[in-house]
Amino acid sequence: MNTSIAANEGAHAGGEGPLSFWESAMRWTLSVDHKKLGIMYICAGMVFFLIGGLEAALMRLQLARANAGIIDPETFNQLFTMHGTTMVFLVGMPVLLGFGNFLIPLMVGARDMAFPRLNAFGFWLFIFGGLLLYFSYIGSEGLYGAPGAPDVGWFAYAPLTSRTFSRGNSTDYWILGIMVSGFGSMTTAINFIATVLCMRCPGMKLMRMPMIAWMMLVVAALVLVAVPVLTAAQVMLLLDRSLGAHFFDPQTQGSAVLWQHLFWFFGHPEVYILVLPAFGFVSEILPVFSRKAIFGYSLMVAATVGIGFIALGVWAHHMFVVGMGPVLDSFFAASTFLISVPTGIKIFNWLGTMWGGRLRFATPMLFVTGFVAMFIIGGLTGIMLATVPMDWQLSDSYFVVGHFHYVLFGGTVFGIFAAIFYWFPKATGRMLNEHLGKWCFWLLFIGFTMTFMPMHISGILGMPRRIYTYEADRGFEIWNLISSIGVPVQMAGVLCFLWNVVKSLRNGAIAGDDPWDAWTLEWSTSSPPPEWNFDRIPTCTSARPLWDKKHPEDPDAHYE
């Protein structure tokens, strides 16, 4: 178990010295190993994260001053469409699914996923879906002489997507790129469910699983319900655009509102698909750095499953301004308030875990604490937006943009960074640099607050989202300027992170099997784990198998 790094690397190379670039590239490309696929998911997601981030930076550059003319309106439309689509489908989904891939088998004590080849298939679908979407920049001109990337917004409302208003093929690239990567997500979800339900090691009952395994199970179920509905809607849109069908064109008895229902039936569960894995990261990292078992494990599981169910019944709170009538408005407002109950339970359980613990503020813990604080703010503005009259006032304003960036950046992205800092030693055998890590956290945290906090104010003042410029003397200028200044600060944070990764891969401190003194099974094998994960399939006696192993005099099993 205490195999040194050198021996491990030797084992990977088959003891024949280092691999050539070509050999190792082939080894990664042809791999069906869940750990390699997980790492490739995360790396590809981070590349798209940089691209999506640059798109956002260009938009903030344009919006820094009133009446700026750096970017023309058409390009601006493409930028916010590609930014949103990239961040949701090509960053959030793959990075989180990548962590699921890397962690689930290790955490439940299995040697691989249930269907390793299906797993590789899903990954390559995602990659090619992403490339197809970005190919639109050069390929969408078609026969119509209307080049450019998709420009219909990430939720692509009808009838903006009809042939009349969206010429060329850009919208078709949006449909097909997302559809292909969506098929990848669905195959991965099937894999997660089969792995969690069938591949657990002896003794690992459902109620002893690490929280991440629970969260990923619920996420996978949500993917299986939500993503097919988006795919169906996209098929209909494709039929509209290619064969002249009448699903969404109001001029020919189609219904534009139907698209909104179908899209948001996918779109809102998608939000929980993006945030539940981050909840999982927090639920794993917070106890380890508080030196306490998680507070209220079973309640946490119940809250997760509860969120999964309620998440399927809140979608139309995105549509209050459509005019659905008081009955539907009240129903969806009520269900949205309801979902804040299990979410609140989680927050209090995390606080309960920290309470009275011996807190160690290493970088993962900093990001996790940042996550909890920022997610609470995002959650509270979410409750404001669930209030129908308030939503009528604030819908499609920068307030909404601020709200969901608090949830998806302050929430999901902080969670992802926490997870990277926490599991990097396991994946590579080397620690990330703590000093640079703290710089990364504080720069990101300050830059994030500078960028997104003022958006709430400019939104309340009436600034609509998705405008490419605004008039002077409406009170928007100072808030937009602060927002834009936050961008380089965040970029510095991201650069710190990238430099940290490069530096630590070369000469970071050797991690050892269990650098954080943690309690879940992935820390019982070597870092990086061998291809078969465990020499002997581990057995599990409680929710913290490694604690039991380290403290035979006082095992958790006594308290279950």
Instruction: Give contact residues for other proteins (rule: CB under 8 A).
Output: 3, 7-8, 10-11, 15, 114-115, 118, 186, 189-191, 193-195, 197-199, 201-202, 220, 224-229, 231-233, 235-236, 239, 243-247, 252-255, 258, 262, 265, 530-532, 535-537, 539
d(CA 42, CA 497): 14
The alpha carbon torsion through 216, 218, 220, 222 (nearest 10 deg) reads -140
Select 229 or 489, whichever has its Cβ closest to other proteins: 229
d(CA 478, CA 496): 28
How far apart are CB 93 and other proteins at their closest, in Å? 16
Q: Which is nearer to other proteins, 243 or 502 (CB)?
A: 243
CB 8 within 8 A of CB 429: yes
Cα(295)–Cα(282) distance, integer angstroms? 12
Q: Minimum distance from CB of 191 to other proteins (Å)?
A: 8
* Distance between CA atoms of residues 133 and 422, nearest Å: 32
Give the residue with the Cβ less far from other proteins, 189 or 463: 189
Min CB(245)–other proteins separation in Å: 4
Name all contacts of 39-44 with Cβ < 8 Å and 24+ positions apart: 39/98, 39/102, 39/427, 40/98, 40/123, 41/94, 41/95, 41/97, 41/98, 41/101, 41/123, 41/126, 42/94, 42/95, 42/98, 42/99, 42/102, 42/420, 44/94, 44/126, 44/127, 44/130
Of 141 and 531, the one with the shorter C-beta distance to other proteins is 531
CB of 468 to other proteins, least distance (A): 34
Check if the beta carbon of residue 34 is closer than 8 Å to that of residue 116: yes
Q: What is the closest distance, in whole angstroms, from the C-beta atom of residue 15 to other proteins in the complex?
A: 6
Nearest approach in angstroms of CB 11 to other proteins is 5
**Shortest distance in whole angstroms from residue 202 CB to other proteins:** 5
Give 115 or 348: the residue with its C-beta nearer to other proteins.
115
Beta strands in 87-238 (DSSP E): none
Q: Which is nearer to other proteins, 231 or 290 (CB)?
A: 231
Q: What whole-number distance in Å separates Cα of residue 496 and Cα of residue 230?
A: 37
What would the two tokens of residue 15 be?
């003891």
> Please, are residues 504 and 498 in contact by the beta-carbon 8 Å criterion?
no
* Shortest separation between residue 12's beta carbon and other proteins, angstroms: 10
Q: Which C-beta is closer to other proteins: that of 536 or that of 558?
A: 536
Q: What does the block give as tokens for 524? A: 């019982």
Q: How far is the CB of 536 from other proteins (least distance, A)?
A: 6
Residue 269 · residue 327 · CB < 8 Å: no
Residue 44 or 190 with smaller CB distance to other proteins: 190
Q: Establish whether the linkage from the previous residue to 528 is cis, with ω within 30° of 0.
A: yes
Output the smallest distance, CB 549 to other proteins, in A: 16
Nearer to other proteins, 125 or 416 (CB): 125
Q: Which residues contact 115 (CB under 8 A, 6 or more apart)?
A: 190, 191, 194
**Of residues 16 and 473, the one with the C-beta less far from other proteins:** 16
| In the complex, least distance from residue 533 CB atom to other proteins, rounded to whole angstroms | 10
Specify burial of residue 94 (Cβ count, 10 A radius: 0-12, 13-18, 19+): buried
State phi, psi for 86 to the nearest 5 degrees: -60, -50
Q: Which is nearer to other proteins, 111 or 465 (CB)?
A: 111
Nearer to other proteins, 247 or 516 (CB): 247
Residue 172 C-beta: closest distance to other proteins, Å: 17
In order, the DSSP letters of 142-195 are TTTT--SS--STTTT-TTTTSTTTS-TTHHHHHHHHHHHHHHHHHHHHHHHHHH
Structure tokens at 271: 């939000």
Q: How far is the CB of 227 from other proteins (least distance, A)?
A: 8
What φ, ψ does residue 265 adopt, rounded to 5°?
-60, -30
State the Rg of the chain over Cα: 23
For other proteins, the closer CB: 195 or 283: 195
Whether the CA torsion 182, 186, 191, 196 is positive or negative: it is positive
Beta bridge partners of 510: 430
